[in-house]
Structure 1
Amino acid sequence: MLKDFSLQGLFMGLLVAFVGFASSFSVVLQGLAGVGASPAEAASGLMALSIAMGLSGILISAVTRMPVSIAWSTPGAALLATAGMQQGGFADAVGAFIIANVLIIIAGLVRPVGRAISAIPAPIANAMLAGVLLSLCLAPVQAVSFSPILGLPIILAWAVAGAFNRLLAVPAALLAFALVVVFGVDIPDGAWAGVAEQMLPRFVWVTPHFSLQATIAVALPLFIVTMASQNIPGIAILNINGYRPEAGRLFSLTGLFSVIAAPFGGHGINLAAITAAMCAGPDANADPAKRYWSAIIGGVGYVLLGLLSGLVVALVSLAPTILIEAVAGLALIGALGASAMGAFKEPDAREAAAATFLAAASGASFFGISGAFWGLVAGLAVMGMKRGVEKMRGGNK
């Protein structure tokens, strides 16, 4: 195994950990806060997710000798940011995290369940995700409206860095955010003492509470978004690069690690997509049989970055909330574009996709259940009625 180690794999693994963490940790914090997590609980959740995806990535890649990169569910975190506080607070959300990830385990073990998720029309799944992401992606504009002096440098850094290298766009925005906080935000002297107190990592246990409302509003959409937007594309990327892992086993393992992380605030981990392409591509190693080391190093990097989660959350808390929301929105613009394109590219499904998108983007909830779930119901209903009418017409000819 050590004979397969290379400096190329080391550098790619470190880059994967940095890009994976820096590009979307703000989305995770927004999502956990959106369902009621306190700053300490959000820091614990971020740390639990980082360690879980690091350890699982190391284990899976070492055993399979394949570059299987693991990530937290960024679309799932975006969903949480719009789901709203549940009746039982964050404990209800944690219960929903466990249910969602038990469903992922079942999907991996029971093939018909996995096939049922795969059978959800891609335009509907993409439209639900696009609707969830829309409000978050408006945050950069809202940040400029809040304070052009603070908001514009973040957007400009993202745009300029992204013009040279797309992977550097969000890290550049984070650097601009840090500079804006240090030089542009009036921070009371006593606040830095609070930052020092939170430097040491701390797990916070949240006893889960299970409710029907949170199951419908959070668990089911989280399960569907994670499977459709992360796990299935993650397997596809590995296949494209010539790797054929047993998909069900990978789904179940990530679900198991997610269940363990949930009582500490983590919503879920899954197969990576973007970082999977980095680990599985030729830049990781010219020899495909040796690329698994990049995923192992990436996993080590995630564990180390997870231990800094308390410090990250403490620094973020010093800034106006809209600024970190802006960074999160910029990190999701690419995902919004891709999901919107996937939602509306098929002419026959556009009405159903539009119904899903509008319901999910509205932010409205009925019976305490968020718009993401109702968007899925609306889209499937419109598509079902359209196909039913078409069959009736075909039968009458």
Structure 2
Amino acid sequence: MLKDLSAQSLFMGLLTAFVGFASSFAVVLQGLKGVGATDLEAASGLMALSLSMGVCGVVLSLVTRLPVSIAWSTPGAALLATAGVPEGGFPVAIGAFLVCGVLIVVAGLFRPLGRAVATIPAPLANAMLSGVILGLCFAPFKAIAFDPRLGLPILAAWAVVAAFKRLYAVPAALAAFALVIAFGVELPDGAMASWAASLAPPVELVMPAFTLPSLISIALPLFIVTMASQNIPGIAVLKVNHYNPMPGPLFAVTGLFSLFSAPFGGHAVNLAAITAAMCAGEDAHPDPKKRYWAAVVCSLGYVVFGLLAGAVTAFVSLAPPILIQAVAGLALIAAFSGSAVAAFKEVETREAAAVTFLITASGVSFGGISGAFWGLVAGGLMMALTALVRHRRDGQKR
């Protein structure tokens, strides 16, 4: 197997690890804090996710000899950022993460459930995702209103680099964020000493608690967006690059690693889509049979980043929260535009998608259950009603 390792795969793997971590870790931190995590618990969750997806990626890539890239659920983290702190705090969110992991395992082992998730209408799934993301996408512009000296450099770095190479736009915004903290934010006395002390890996075990509202408003929507927006597209990316894995076992393994990371604050790991395209493409190696090493190297990079999660989180906490929200929002702009276009593409389902999008984006909740779930339900009812009326009209014409 070592004979298959090449300099090309090594470089692409390292690049993929950097892009995968840097482009969305801000979303993860914001999501975990959105459901009540402290800085230490968020750092522990970031570390647990990084280690889980690193080890999972190594195992799956070496066993299957396929470039199987693993990532944390970025759409899931965006969902958490807008879900609000559940009654009972972060332990209740941990319970929901565990249930989500179980559902992913069952979806992989029990084919009918996996097929049921796959049959959720794509316009509604995309509408829910775009509604979840919308709030964070406002953050870059709110950061400019908060302080143009701090927010504008982050947005400008993203825009300029995106005009040339979209892949590096968010890392560029992250670099601008680091410079803004270093030179534009007045740090409290002892801040750097405190940051240096955070280099030790953070570990915070949280005992889970379970409530019905959190299972419906967090676990179920998290499961749906993870499957519909990450796992299923991840399989599609591999197939586009002429790989034919068995989806079920891959889903089940990611669910198991989600269960491992949940007690330490991790929400979910899953098959990657964007970074999967980097590892599975020709840039990773001319020979498709040797590209799996790019995914292995990428996964090892995630392990290293995970061990530094405490330092990353401590550095981020030195800045006003709106700035890290701005970076997270920039990381989600591409996902928002893609999901919004897909949601409203078909004329027949446009009204149903709009209902799902608006209810989800409004952030309203009923009975302690978040708008993401109710948006999906309302959109489904609207779609069913529209189909029924259309069917009756067609019958009358005959």
- TM superposition score category, shorter chain reference: over 0.9
Q: CA deviation at 1:320?
A: 0.3
User: In the TM superposition, what whole-angstrom CA distance separates every residue of 1:173-231 from its partner, at most 9, and x where no partner exists?
Assistant: 00000000010001112222221221100210000111101000100000000000000
Aligned to 2:127, the other structure's residue is in SS state helix
Aligned to 1:71, the other structure's residue is in SS state strand
Give me the whole-angstrom Cα distance separating, in 2, the residues matched to 1:368 and 1:197: 39
User: Are 2:39 and 1:39 aligned?
Assistant: yes
Aligned to 2:341, the other structure's residue is in SS state helix
Residue type matched to 1:15 in 2? L
User: In the TM superposition, what whole-angstrom CA distance separates every residue of 1:147-174 from its partner, at most 9, and x where no partner exists?
Assistant: 0010000000001111121111001000
User: Are 2:82 and 1:82 aligned?
Assistant: yes
User: Are 2:46 and 1:50 aligned?
Assistant: no
What is residue 99 of structure 1 aligned with on the other side? 99
What is residue 173 of structure 1 aligned with on the other side? 173
What is residue 368 of structure 2 aligned with on the other side? 368
Q: CA deviation at 1:307?
A: 0.4
Give me the whole-angstrom Cα distance separating, in 2, the residues matched to 1:360 and 1:47: 29
1:239-250 to 2 correspondences below 5 Å: 239-250=239-250
Give me the whole-angstrom Cα distance separating, in 2, the residues matched to 1:355 and 1:149: 38
What is residue 229 of structure 1 aligned with on the other side? 229
Unaligned runs of 5+ in 2: none
Residue type matched to 1:267 in 2? H
What is residue 255 of structure 1 aligned with on the other side? 255
Q: CA deviation at 1:17?
A: 0.4
Give me the whole-angstrom Cα distance separating, in 1, the residues matched to 2:13 and 2:294: 4
1:349-388 to 2 correspondences below 5 Å: 349-388=349-388
TM-score by length of 1: 0.99
Aligned to 1:66, the other structure's residue is in SS state coil
TM-score by length of 2: 0.99
Give me the whole-angstrom Cα distance separating, in 2, the residues matched to 1:252 and 1:376: 25
What is residue 155 of structure 1 aligned with on the other side? 155
User: Are 2:267 and 1:267 aligned?
Assistant: yes
Q: When the two structures are aligned, how many residues end up with a matched partner?
A: 397
What is residue 184 of structure 1 aligned with on the other side? 184
RMSD (Å) for aligned C-alpha atoms: 0.7
Give me the whole-angstrom Cα distance separating, in 1, the residues matched to 2:261 and 2:188: 34
Aligned to 2:348, the other structure's residue is in SS state helix
What is residue 110 of structure 2 aligned with on the other side? 110
Give me the whole-angstrom Cα distance separating, in 1, the residues matched to 2:192 and 2:217: 38
Give me the whole-angstrom Cα distance separating, in 1, the residues matched to 2:364 and 2:321: 22
Residue type matched to 1:100 in 2? C
Aligned to 2:163, the other structure's residue is in SS state helix
Aligned to 1:195, the other structure's residue is in SS state helix
Give me the whole-angstrom Cα distance separating, in 1, the residues matched to 2:244 and 2:50: 25
Q: CA deviation at 1:367?
A: 1.0
Give me the whole-angstrom Cα distance separating, in 2, the residues matched to 1:278 and 1:196: 34
What is the percent sequence identity of the aligned residues?
A: 65
Q: CA deviation at 1:112?
A: 0.7
Give me the whole-angstrom Cα distance separating, in 2, the residues matched to 1:130 and 1:285: 34
Give me the whole-angstrom Cα distance separating, in 2, the residues matched to 1:98 and 1:350: 34
Residue type matched to 1:307 in 2? L
Residue type matched to 1:44 in 2? S
Q: CA deviation at 1:393?
A: 2.5
User: In the TM superposition, what whole-angstrom CA distance separates every residue of 1:297-349 from its partner, at most 9, and x where no partner exists?
Assistant: 00100000000000000000000000000000000000000000000000000
Give me the whole-angstrom Cα distance separating, in 1, the residues matched to 2:353 and 2:66: 36
Give me the whole-angstrom Cα distance separating, in 1, the residues matched to 2:370 and 2:198: 33
The runs of 4+ residues in structure 1 deviating greater than 6 Å are none
Unaligned runs of 5+ in 1: none
Aligned to 1:77, the other structure's residue is in SS state helix
